[in-house]
Amino acid sequence: MAEPKSWQARIGEATDALAQSFVESISYDRRIYRQDIAGSIAHATMLEKAGLLSAVERDAIIEGLKDIGRDIEAGTFVFDESLEDIHMVVEKALTDRIGEPGRKLHTARSRNDQVALDLSLWIRDAALEMGKKLHVLCRAHVSMAERSGDIVMPSYTHLQRAQPIAAGAECLAWCTMFWRDADRCASAGEFAGVNDIPLGSGAIAGSSLPIDSSITAQLLGYSQPPLSSIEQTASRDQGLEFLFSLAMASMHLSRWAEQWIIYSTTEFSFIKTADRYTTGSSMMPQKRNPDMLELIRGRCATVYGDLVSLLTLCKGLPIGYNRDLQEDKRLIFRAFDTVSACVIMSAAIVNATNFVRENIEPTLERGFLDATSLAEYLVTKGTPFRTAHHVVGSLVARCEREGKTALAQLQLPDFAAAANASGADPSVIGQDVYDALGSRNVVKRYRSPGAGGGEPFKQRLAEWKARLGC
């Protein structure tokens, strides 16, 4: 005969089927079984030290729990779906296996602090895993930066050609973003710096039993007992922080995907991705659609939705545990799975993509990308920046009027005339001005740390390789 639900001794009427399916979470919270078991093992260890379990009982519990864990890993464990959640499933299985001691495991514990602990442990693991995946993506970008060699391409602001850069420098920009995201994930494991353990909070008010949550804290890698049993069972701050860090990664993934979709157009043709990551059209057989990139961009939008969902859910709640919180896991798992798949897919795509030198370089001089370089040349000759800026503006205007497509097509007297007209000293402009013109020249001249080419780029590339071990 099925054991009655723990609280059913009092409630006479049977819960109807609709209600049962409405409240169950075992269909998705089974995913935290490993954390649930780890938490219970630590709890049992502590209970023994507190004198609430004998050593024999503790050992029986721990062995029983490990056994259940092994069976789940092996796929041989049968989940009793009539029990609502992973906590009851594990506890019931334990009691079935080891008898009476199993009935002591829940001493000084409630599902309210148990689930808060399990989720916290899961997030710590997931944040670690996500950090590793993001580093894989970082490595892919670094590797692309390296194999891009000396390809020079335009950089864009306002999606307008701005300054020339080493193609690899853009890869490092993406790498930087995802590195920050990994960092953000890592710190989402920290309960806003305080890192107190949820377990030991009971249902809301703690316990009158002589438990010592500094023991469980230490066993499970937290720094201290709950600051407030009420707060710990009422809050999902850590879950929200993790979701936010996933949303940030999604934002960066989406920007990158968008950028590469643009680079994949016929008009840009800056990159080529291996065919296995593009698809065709049922009606237009010639197309190579960047579907993977589009799906990444699209799916990343749904992570925002998941963040909004949990923020909204939490906002309306009075203090203490409310059942609404059960939805947290569904949202966090979903966002994690989405971002995981997108990150891995992205790394695969980056590894299968190259800049196409022969498409980029022929048009490299379009857009007067060396205008800033020329202004800086004038600055080095003592011209105030605003004046230099004005001089260059008039030279570009002159090129446009005269149908010249590059500043380097101007003659020395042209430069002098412009300087003169703007009140700058024309005599400072010498033959070396041409060393500051042309994209290839410009890129070599970058000197500021973190810049888009030249030595600063080489230095950053070396740093990233060292940092990421690639």
- Residues acting as catalytic residues: 158, 281
Residues contacting a copy of itself: total by CB under 8 A: 202
Kindly state whether residue 240 participates in binding a copy of itself, applying the rule CB under 8 A.
yes
- Cβ atoms of 396 and 404 closer than 8 Å: no
Nearest to 235 by CA among 110, 113, 86, 111: 113
Close Cβ partners of 393 (under 8 Å, ≥ 6 residues apart): none
Q: Please give the Cα distance from 316 to 314 (Å, whole number).
A: 6
Nearest to 224 by CA among 199, 259, 250: 199
Per DSSP, the three-state class of 155 is strand
Min CB(94)–a copy of itself separation in Å: 11
Give the footprint of a copy of itself on residues 399-458 (CB under 8 A): 436, 442, 445-453, 456
Close Cβ partners of 338 (under 8 Å, ≥ 6 residues apart): 246, 250, 299, 300, 302, 303, 306
Q: Which is nearer to a copy of itself, 70 or 405 (CB)?
A: 405
Please select the residue that binds a copy of itself; options are 208, 403, 411, 469, rule is CB under 8 A. 208
Q: Which is nearer to a copy of itself, 147 or 255 (CB)?
A: 255
With 0-12 / 13-18 / 19 or more C-beta atoms within 10 angstroms meaning exposed / middle / buried, residue 281 is exposed
Please count the helices (runs of H) and the strands (runs of E) in the chain.
18, 4
Please select the residue that binds a copy of itself; options are 26, 230, 416, 470, rule is CB under 8 A. 230
Q: Which is nearer to a copy of itself, 76 or 184 (CB)?
A: 184
Close Cβ partners of 38 (under 8 Å, ≥ 6 residues apart): 121, 220
Site string for a copy of itself, 35-54 (x = CB under 8 A): -----------------x--
Give the footprint of a copy of itself on residues 256-285 (CB under 8 A): 256, 258-259, 261-262, 264-268, 274-285
Min CB(127)–a copy of itself separation in Å: 14
Give the footprint of a copy of itself on residues 100-129 (CB under 8 A): 100-112
Kindly state whether residue 169 participates in binding a copy of itself, applying the rule CB under 8 A.
yes
Q: Which is nearer to a copy of itself, 30 or 330 (CB)?
A: 330
Q: Tell me the CA distances in angstroms from 241 to 3, 80, 113, one per residue in order.
A: 39, 33, 19
Angle of helix 111-147 relative to helix 33-49, nearest 10 degrees, comes to: 130
Kindly state whether residue 392 participates in binding a copy of itself, applying the rule CB under 8 A.
yes
Min CB(246)–a copy of itself separation in Å: 12
Min CB(125)–a copy of itself separation in Å: 20
Close Cβ partners of 441 (under 8 Å, ≥ 6 residues apart): 370, 373, 434, 435
Min CB(191)–a copy of itself separation in Å: 7
From the list 35-43, 68-76, 121-129, 174-182, the region that binds a copy of itself by CB under 8 A is: 174-182
Q: Which is nearer to a copy of itself, 35 or 229 (CB)?
A: 229
From the list 27-35, 36-44, 126-134, 160-168, the region that binds a copy of itself by CB under 8 A is: 160-168
Min CB(444)–a copy of itself separation in Å: 9
Kindly state whether residue 344 participates in binding a copy of itself, applying the rule CB under 8 A.
yes
Between CA 61 and CA 70, with CA 65 as vertex, the angle to 5 degrees is: 150
